[in-house]
């Protein structure tokens, strides 16, 4: 019987759809540029209005947008780097760059939120902050409409692209819209309080309280995204039942071909699923030639769940168990 130690379904860079990857990268860059331009315009408006109306929560909105622009520019640079094929230096591609960029991006946003929260707590315990509620209400209404428009626009464009980097931009616009909704409700509450003599003295606390509440609400998205990206950087098994679905397919194939044992290793980085399967064929196994091995690889590729991902599949056959568990 003839067994090869390891044959991969993607042994050479030429088998990759490089033109499709470059096209996808170009589309991502275009959407990022639109997001950056919109965030820059929004940041300038927020800073000017926040200074005029002496509102920390509006300044927080503007500062969030400035940080977002800076990080989006770094993301754009990373996309350009990833879009350039360099198989000599990066034989396994540059997919790891994406989760690393996401981690850095969200860590910076968390730092911004924590700084704003500390400033709001200080203001809360030092007498609050006077705010021009009426103009702030107008700003907040505009911010809600602007943020929601960008959120819907990028979401619609990303339906077919399914880019995680673009998705981080979508998440940021969603959060910005939520922040703006919170600001709108806060200013509306503050405006109502000015008409109630017993509550009017407490209007000065509306601004810092809104910053604190929005900051607490905001933190769960970056933390969740960082956890997911860390799993990818560390080559951990993907969540969501994907690995279990692949294991069921491999178990079925193992039984159908009377293979003695199999070992499955799965990880996901960005939009690439890394799948290594080691078969210990055994004396009863019905895999005797390279042609049969290749046919089994084709069968695996046809049956495993893809979920829109690129698959990097390696299938090895051996009679010695030590090569499968090494």
Query: 269 - beta bridge partners?
Result: 272
First-residue to last-residue Cα distance in the chain? 22
Check residue 294 and give its pLDDT: 92
CA distance 197 to 157: 49
Check residue 25 and give its pLDDT: 52
Q: Are 212 and 186 in contact (CB under 8 A)?
A: no
Same fold, 17-233 and 237-325: no
Check residue 251 and give its pLDDT: 93
pLDDT < 70 positions in the chain: 1-26, 131, 307-308, 326
The SS3 call for residue 316 is strand
Helix (H) / strand (E) containing 268: strand 261-269
Q: Are 164 and 102 in contact (CB under 8 A)?
A: yes
CA distance 101 to 308: 21
Query: 280 - beta bridge partners?
Result: 261, 318
Check residue 74 and give its pLDDT: 78
The pTM for the full model equals: 0.68
CA distance 251 to 249: 5
Check residue 106 and give its pLDDT: 82
CA distance 242 to 33: 33
C-alpha pair distances (Å), 167 with each of 41, 73, 208: 21, 15, 30
Check residue 316 and give its pLDDT: 93
CA distance 197 to 123: 23
Q: Which CATH number fits domain 237-325: 3.30.300.20, 3.30.360.10, 3.40.50.720, 3.40.50.300?
A: 3.30.300.20
Check residue 26 and give its pLDDT: 57
Boundaries of every domain in the chain: 17-233, 237-325
CATH fold, domain 17-233, is Alpha-lytic protease prodomain-like (1.20.1510)
Check residue 175 and give its pLDDT: 78
- Comparing CA positions, the residue from 260, 278, 268 lying closest to residue 312 is 268
């Amino acid at each position: 019987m003839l067994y090869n130690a390891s044959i991969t379904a993607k042994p050479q860079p030429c088998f990759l759809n490089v033109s499709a990857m470059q096209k996808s990268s170009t589309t991502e860059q275009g959407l990022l540029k639109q997001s950056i331009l919109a965030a820059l315009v929004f940041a300038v408006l927020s800073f000017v209005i926040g200074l005029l109306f002496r509102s920390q929560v509006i300044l927080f909105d503007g500062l969030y947008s400035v940080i977002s622009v800076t990080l989006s520019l770094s993301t754009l640079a990373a996309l350009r780097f990833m879009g350039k094929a360099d198989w000599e230096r990066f034989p396994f591609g540059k997919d790891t760059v994406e989760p690393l960029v996401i981690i850095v991006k969200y860590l910076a946003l968390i730092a911004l939120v924590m700084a704003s929260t500390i400033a709001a707590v200080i203001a809360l315990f030092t007498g609050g902050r006077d705010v021009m509620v009426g103009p702030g209400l107008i700003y907040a209404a505009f911010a809600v409409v602007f943020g929601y428009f960008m959120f819907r626009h990028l979401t619609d464009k990303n339906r077919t692209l399914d880019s995680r980097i673009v998705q981080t931009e979508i998440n940021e616009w969603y959060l910005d819209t939520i922040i703006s909704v919170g600001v709108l409700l806060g200013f509306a509450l503050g405006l109502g309080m000015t008409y109630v003599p017993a509550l009017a003295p407490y209007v000065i606390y509306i601004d810092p309280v809104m910053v604190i509440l929005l900051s607490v609400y905001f933190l769960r998205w970056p933390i969740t995204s960082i956890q997911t990206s860390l799993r990818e950087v560390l080559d951990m098994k993907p969540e969501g039942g994907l690995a279990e679905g692949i294991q069921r397919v491999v178990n079925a194939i193992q039984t159908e071909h009377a293979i003695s044992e199999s070992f499955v290793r799965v990880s996901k980085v960005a939009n690439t699923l890394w799948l290594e399967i080691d078969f210990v064929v055994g004396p009863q196994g019905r895999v005797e030639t390279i042609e049969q091995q290749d046919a089994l690889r084709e069968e695996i590729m046809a049956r495993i769940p893809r979920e829109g991902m690129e698959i990097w599949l390696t299938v090895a056959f051996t009679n010695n168990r030590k090569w499968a568990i090494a």
